[in-house]
Amino acid sequence: MAKATSKLATESIKLENHDPEKIKARLLAKYPPKVARKRAKQIVVNKVDRDGKVPVISSNVRTVPGLIGQRGCCYAGCKGVVLGPTRDIINITHGPIGCGYYSWLTRRNQTDPDKAANGQASDGHNFMTYCFSTDMQDEEIIFGGEKKLKQAIQEAYDNFKPKAIAVFSTCPVGLIGDDVHAVCREMKAKLGINVFGFSCEGYKGVSQSAGHHIANNGIFTHVVGLDDTITAGKYRINLLGEYNIGGDAFEIERLFERCGITLVSSYSGNSSIDAFANSHTADLNLIMCHRSINYVAEMMETKYGVPWIKVNFIGAAATAKSLRKIAQYFDEEELTAQVEAVIADELPAVTAACEEIRPRTVGKRAMLFVGGSRAHHYQELFGELGIKTLSAGYEFGHRDDYEGRRVLPDIKVDADSRNIEELEIQPDPERFHPRIDEAKRKTLEAEGLGFSDYEGMMPEMPDGSMVIDDLSQYETDELIRIFKPDLFCAGIKEKYAVQKHGIPLKQLHSYDYGGPYAGFKGAINFYKEIDRMVNSRVWEYMQAPWEASPELSATYAWE
Amino acid sequence: MRSVKQTAPYTATQNACNLCAPLGAALVFKGIANALPLLHGSQGCSTYIRRYMISHFKEPLDIACSNFGEDTAIFGGGANLKLALDNIRRQYHPELIGIATTCLSETIGDDVPMFIQAYKAAFQNACRDEQLPALVHVATPSYQGTHMEGFHGAVRALIQTLAGREAAEGPPAMNLFPGMVSPADLRHLKEIVIDFGLEATVVPDYSDTLNGPLWTEYQRIPEGGTPVNALRRAGAGVASLECGLLLAAEKETAGTWLATQFDVPLHRQGLPIGISQSDRLFDTLAAVSGKAIPQKYTDQRGRLLDALVDGHKHLSGVRVAIFGEEDLVAGLAAFCGELGIFPVLCATGGGRGRFADTVRKVMPDYCRDQMQILEDVDFVTIEKKLAEMDGEVDLLIGHSKGYTMSRRLGKPLIRVGFPVHDRVDGSRLLHLGYRGAQQLFDRIANTLIQVKQERNEIGYTYF
């Protein structure tokens, strides 16, 4: 099957005779009034108007202390998510040991050090298996840590001779006033390599989302545009917001290669710093995870004239659709024909796999609480399997990720967001050139290719489904008790609590050490994985025979 | 503490062999019945520590947080802590909330004891019909020491805050401070103590909370753990036993507090890993209980020795490198000495400045002076040392973070301790007692045989 499942919005979903408003009341019952009022705005029953408008959901607001949530910190978003997957930058954590240790290759980003950017010779650098830290101690907290940071940078350079070193500040750094940027400038001049710092102290912003923004700003300021070489290859694109968890990027790259599309740079799965430096020469930016990377795309368009479109390579239909979007943009017969040929060649295997598995998954019910885009994207794959999404929400999304970018002008900037720098970008006097003219853009838009647009998750979800932002562990437990879904999707922190209830949890951060799930081959992997999880026999044994029928245990006792 | 002793010249840490203090404290609070750990600082700390510990235990592991924002970092975390405590009480009704600080709240100098005092006062004025959970605070700035300091600090804080001599129900209990061991170890220790007819207050006891069955009924906080009431009675204990060779030299521990405040006799020894330290454990328990060592354990000891005799040919002269928590490494090194294995290198990311002396003391003469003993080191330093000993190491014993090293060196890794996130049995690994020794011995011997077998061209199957 693998039929397009977008525009689910025409359907509505009955929460199995549960009144969603009552459920909401139950979730809020234990909170003090002020907290309940705040959370009430983050728990929304979906309703899609004819023009695609959805209810307002409060998001990107601070988590209430004491509500055990899923969110990480600014440092995690900056170092862990955005910069972590780049293999040839040495990332030094400036702070006590914990932060560096916990972000030490824990995100399962894969990389291929033998493959260099743009056909250049590979240097084989891969520092992702290392964890560099200044391991701050008492003295640095008291007397400052700049001296040790310099030494750490020098040492990393001496030992590895990397092309670039990045420094990430943790909480105490901002408080004791270390000027990491000055240190980086000094070491950059001294060593002659790119050295740059990020003020991504953990207390900034309300979630890892702040760190994504800071990382975007830093890469754009210090790296993008350093190499103007226009390398060989037709249909030159960047893929943004794809982090190569479980090899997703490898599968997408495979499809690009088959279609004859040239990937200049990825942000940042399987990426290298050279590719970032050159990425402004691409002709189109594709955005997967809108939340974590849209800033780079916006800035690149303003400064260099590279337009961006939203894509989704999660789900067979979505993959085909995204490939067609690229062909539509370049509008050349050769590419269109090749894209169609690839889809025609790849899709039958996916359809066959889906048809075989679907009878065992159809009608099951899922909940997805993850990320800033995965909770949306994975609804595609579940739709293909005939699995309904009862409820979904993001861990660190903003209103535009829920309701679509149309609400951007309405978003109130609160103090937490205001503290994250918004760079003032101007068109580059020499290098700005719009890749397509205004008339062409209008034509393509009329044909349905949305530029700089993301419609958000809610317009594609059925009426009546519950959308919950920044779900807490307490609320997770409540939802599970009420609905007993067949499958829950979140991360490792939620996994074992949910599974204790006899409900399988699919990790959509690390993929439970499986994957890839992107593209066509990924879709097949995912179908099989979900089949395995929801139909595992282990759940049948949860109740021992003597628990199932007490008279049996009486019999045993009698005997 | 390591922090004040940072050795010159400074080198940056690459691939650390220790974690941060709040993690150790959170683990301890997870071992108290109906308790919830709370980290006072940025939410990243609780998220990172949760996700990290869960990757080892593969169990629900909730840690609350006071969720500092930028303004909290400037104005202090008092209001956040109060709100966090309110919300935790309403959602979870815990009997105890364990509050550990982070580098953020410590750097800005939050006075957590004062916040707690104010909270208690306000609570008493407001809601009299409800019992206030016990609030236990431990200072765990991550720029001081390692997760082991956080662990022992939290155990001490629990005792110091709660222990008294409140009407002891039932038979008098002994206090058991086993150190940072696995849930399987804790279960085994409890079994041993029960077999001596003793009641024991094991602090912490995460044997059930972090290694429990599937739930047939919903549990807000997983069942199990040291009862808070038992902690309150710790001052009436018949004896305390504290495990860990390095811990045994610390002046301020849970055991020393009970000894000085309540005259509870304190027994100190290493982690009961291997023969002699297990013997000490059984001796102590026999003395405290006044009972002979149950036959079951003399049998276990007998079978262990029998296996050692049978397997000596595989182990004798084998050279190992051991790394991890200081007390665990010291215990394993002593056991290796008993087996005839030569621990050529012992390393820890902590050590408190006493690691080398402590390890040497428990080693037999034949290897005492030829060992490399490294403290306050990272994996890059360990690996460099091993590379210098080119080919002189047959086996690595340590946690999962040593895997990349084992892969590069082409030497097998026996996984022990914490973290073990690349095998499924992290919580079920048994290290302690004769049975733990038996399992360690079996795993070491089997690994060595497997290496021999794989290298052998003929493919012998009789070893």
Say how far apart CA B423 and CA A536 lie, in whole Å. 21
Q: Which H, E and C letters describe B159-213, residue by residue?
A: HHHHCCCCCCCCCCEEEEECCCCCHHHHHHHHHHHHHCCCEEEECCCCCCCCCCC
Q: What is the pLDDT of residue A17?
A: 74
State which residue of chain B sits closest to A157, comparing Cα positions: B12
Query: How do strand B134-138 and strand B96-101 relate by DSSP bridges?
Result: parallel
Which chain B positions have a beta carbon within 8 Å of A92's beta carbon?
Answer: 12
Q: What is the pLDDT of residue B6?
A: 41
- The reply to whether B392 falls in a domain is yes
Which chain B positions have a beta carbon within 8 Å of A98's beta carbon?
Answer: 19-20, 22-23, 45, 48-49, 103, 142
Say how far apart CA A269 and CA A198 lie, in whole Å. 20
Instruction: Say whether A184 is catalytic.
Output: no
Residues B301 and B449 in one domain: yes
Domain A74-205 belongs to what topology? Answer: Rossmann fold (3.40.50)
Q: Per the CB < 8 Å rule, is A493 touching B50? A: yes
CA contacts within 13 A on the Cβ side of B239: 15
Q: Residue type at A91?
A: N
| Burial profile A466-496: b = 16 or more Cβ within 10 angstroms, e = fewer | bbbbbbbbbbbbbbbebbebbbbbbbbbbbb
Residues B257 and B313 in one domain: no
Instruction: Say whether A377 is catalytic.
Output: no
Q: What is the pLDDT of residue B170?
A: 67
Give the gap in angstroms from C-alpha B175 to the nearest C-alpha of chain A. Answer: 31
- The reply to whether B462 falls in a domain is no
Other Cβ atoms closer than 10 A to A532 = 12
Say how far apart CA B130 and CA A473 lie, in whole Å. 24
Residue B104's alpha-carbon distances to A173, B38, B81, B90, B335, in angstroms, are 9, 14, 13, 26, 40
- The reply to whether B1 falls in a domain is no
Residues B26 and B55 in one domain: yes
- Residue B266: helix, strand or coil by DSSP? strand
Q: Per the CB < 8 Å rule, is A32 touching B142? A: no
Say how far apart CA A433 and CA A141 lie, in whole Å. 48
Q: Are A127 and A90 in contact (CB under 8 A)?
A: yes
Residues B18 and B58 in one domain: yes
- The reply to whether B451 falls in a domain is yes
Length of chain A: 559
Q: Per the structure block, which two tokens stand in for B72?
A: 């909290």
Other Cβ atoms closer than 10 A to B290 = 9
Residues B331 and B244 in one domain: no
Residue B88 scores a pLDDT above 60: yes
Q: What is the pLDDT of residue B220?
A: 86
Residues B225 and B314 in one domain: no
Instruction: Say whether A200 is catalytic.
Output: no
Domain with CATH 3.40.50.1980 in chain A: 8-69+364-401+456-541, 74-205, 236-360+404-446
pLDDT in tens, B172-215: 799 999 999 999 999 999 999 999 999 999 999 999 999 999 98
Q: Per the CB < 8 Å rule, is B103 touching A172? A: yes
Say how far apart CA B289 and CA A90 lie, in whole Å. 57
Q: What is the mean pLDDT of chain B?
A: 94
- Residue B448: helix, strand or coil by DSSP? helix
Which chain A positions have a beta carbon within 8 Å of B212's beta carbon?
Answer: 500
Q: Per the CB < 8 Å rule, is A542 touching B214? A: yes
Q: Per the CB < 8 Å rule, is B69 touching A206? A: yes
Kindly provide the ipTM of the predicted complex, given to two decimals. 0.94
pLDDT in tens, B333-375: 999 999 999 999 999 999 889 999 999 999 999 888 899 999 9
Residues B87 and B179 in one domain: no
Q: What is the pLDDT of residue B10?
A: 76
Residue B167 scores a pLDDT above 70: no
Catalytic, out of A76, A289, A316, A366: A76
Q: Per the CB < 8 Å rule, is B42 touching A497? A: no
- The reply to whether B3 falls in a domain is no
Q: Are A233 and A286 in contact (CB under 8 A)?
A: no
Say how far apart CA B308 and CA B339 lie, in whole Å. 7
CA B135 to chain centre: 22
pLDDT in tens, chain A (559 residues): 344 444 444 466 667 778 888 999 999 998 999 999 999 999 999 999 999 999 999 999 999 999 999 999 999 999 999 999 999 999 999 999 999 999 998 888 999 998 765 666 788 899 999 999 999 999 999 999 999 999 999 999 999 999 999 999 999 999 999 999 999 999 999 999 999 999 999 999 999 999 999 999 999 999 999 999 999 999 999 999 999 999 999 999 999 999 999 999 999 999 999 999 999 999 999 999 999 999 999 999 999 999 999 999 999 999 999 999 999 999 999 999 999 999 999 999 999 999 999 999 999 999 999 999 999 999 999 999 999 999 999 999 999 999 999 999 999 989 888 889 999 999 999 999 999 999 999 999 999 999 999 999 999 999 999 999 999 999 999 999 999 999 999 999 999 999 999 999 999 999 999 999 999 999 999 999 999 999 999 988 888 888 877 665 555 444 3
Residues B120 and B205 in one domain: no
Q: Per the structure block, which two tokens stand in for A166?
A: 């990045």
B45 touches chain A (CB under 8 A): yes
* Tokens 């360690």, residue located: B440
The dihedrals phi and psi of A53, each to the nearest 5 degrees, come to -75, 145
Q: Per the CB < 8 Å rule, is A98 touching B63? A: no
Say how far apart CA B19 and CA B401 lie, in whole Å. 11
Q: What is the pLDDT of residue A263?
A: 97
Q: Which residue has the higher pLDDT, A508 or B127?
A: A508
pTM for the full model?
A: 0.96
Angle at A227 between CA A259 and CA A265, to 5 degrees: 30
Residues B421 and B338 in one domain: yes
Residue B249 DSSP symbol: G
List, as one string, the DSSP characters of A19-66.
Answer: -HHHHHHHHHTTS-HHHHHHHHTTEEE----TTS-------S-PPPTT
Cis peptide before B9 (omega within 30 of 0): yes
Say how far apart CA A352 and CA B293 lie, in whole Å. 66
- The reply to whether B70 falls in a domain is yes
The average pLDDT across B46-74 equals: 96
Q: Are B335 and B275 in contact (CB under 8 A)?
A: yes
* DSSP H or E run through B443: helix B433-455
Which chain B positions have a beta carbon within 8 Å of A415's beta carbon?
Answer: 70-71
CATH value at residue B205: 3.40.50.1980
Q: What is the pLDDT of residue A543?
A: 82
Instruction: Residue B431: give the domain boundaries.
Output: 297-455
pLDDT in tens, B271-328: 999 999 999 999 999 999 999 999 999 999 999 999 999 999 999 999 999 999 999 9
Helix axes A333-361, A316-330, angle to 10 degrees: 170
Residue B89's alpha-carbon distances to A478, B38, B113, B130, B312, in angstroms, are 17, 12, 19, 10, 56
Q: What's the burial of A358, exposed, middle or buried (CB within 10 Å: 0-12/13-18/19+)?
A: middle
List, as one string, the DSSP characters of A390-444.
Answer: EEEE-SS--HHHHH-GGGGGG----HHHHTS--------TTT---SS-HHHHHHH
Q: What is the pLDDT of residue B4?
A: 36
Residue B30's alpha-carbon distances to A346, B24, B144, B175, B204, in angstroms, are 50, 10, 22, 18, 8
Structurally, chain B folds into a number of domains equal to: 3
Q: What is the pLDDT of residue B372?
A: 95
Catalytic, out of A2, A9, A73, A164: A73
Pick from B427, B391, B394: nearest CA to B411: B394
Residues B324 and B422 in one domain: yes
Residues B75 and B42 in one domain: yes
Q: Which CATH number fits domain A236-360+404-446: 3.20.20.70, 3.30.110.60, 3.40.50.1980, 3.40.50.11540?
A: 3.40.50.1980
- Domain over A8-69+364-401+456-541 is classified CATH 3.40.50.1980: yes
Q: Per the structure block, which two tokens stand in for A47?
A: 């309703």
- The reply to whether B460 falls in a domain is no
- Chain A, 245-274: which have a CB under 8 Å from a chain B CB? none
Sign of CA dihedral A187, A188, A194, A196: positive
Say how far apart CA B340 and CA B361 lie, in whole Å. 16
Residues B142 and B242 in one domain: no
A101 touches chain B (CB under 8 A): yes
Residue ending a domain, among B273, B289, B305, is: B289
Residue ending a domain, among B266, B289, B312, is: B289
